[in-house]
Amino acid sequence: MGNRAKTRKNRNIDPVARERTGIEGVEGLLRKAAIQQPERAKLLFVCIGTDCSTGDSFGPWVGTLLKEAGWPHIAGTLEHPCDANRYEALIGDIPPSLTVIAIDACLGKKDATPGYMIAEGPLFPAQAVGKRLPPIGDYSIAGIVAPHSVKPYWAIQHASLYEVMGMARSVADTINRVWPEA
């Protein structure tokens, strides 16, 4: 058993059970989160990614839309991305009293409809491109922006901006619907 755990750690396998879903599943996850934390002021959205890559802009697009809608706690927008260079500094100052919902792009099986990977538990940013960043989030949503590829940077860079923006809009609209303003 000790060797098995060691092998898993070396392969960088995500220990959180994730579900592939459409926007309805994202809404279901967010409704669970809203039951646990109904107050907008006690939520933090960590929207991971960069404005310099089409596919990886999914998180910052969501963050920008939420900021424009008046959400009080957002880390990661198009103007101020939560990218690999700023990630650890941004998450290091998160108060433990906030419920964190992590949002990022990912690679996966692409089909005709937008897809998301959701979980009650943390997101492990940058795994698809082989980076090791600390996990983040009480809940996590990853937008599948492109198919897995032997060239992950190329795949995420060449995702459809139209699709990425549409997916980001759907997630932001769902968040606003689940936690309506008081």
Which pLDDT value is given to residue 33? 98
- The answer to whether residue 126 is domain-embedded is yes
Mean pLDDT of the chain: 87
Q: Determine the 3-state secondary structure of 126 from DSSP.
A: coil
pLDDT band at 119 (very low <50, low <70, confident <90, very high): very high
Q: Decide if 14 is inside a domain.
A: no
pLDDT at 1 over 70: no
Q: What is the pLDDT of residues 40-71, one digit of tens each?
A: 999 999 999 999 988 899 999 999 999 999 99
Q: What is the pLDDT of residues 29-39, one digit of tens each?
A: 999 999 999 99
Total domain count, the chain: 1
Inside any domain, residue 69? yes
Residue 161's domain comprises 31-178
Question: Is 26 contained in some domain?
Answer: no
Average pLDDT over residues 3-29: 69
Q: What CATH code is carried by the domain that includes residue 69?
A: 3.40.50
Would you place residue 166 in the very low, low, confident or very high pLDDT band (cuts 50, 70, 90)?
Answer: very high
Any domain includes 35: yes
CA dist 165 and 145 (Å) reads 10
φ, ψ dihedrals at 160, nearest 5°: -70, 120
Q: Is 86 helix (H, G, I), strand (E, B) or coil?
A: coil
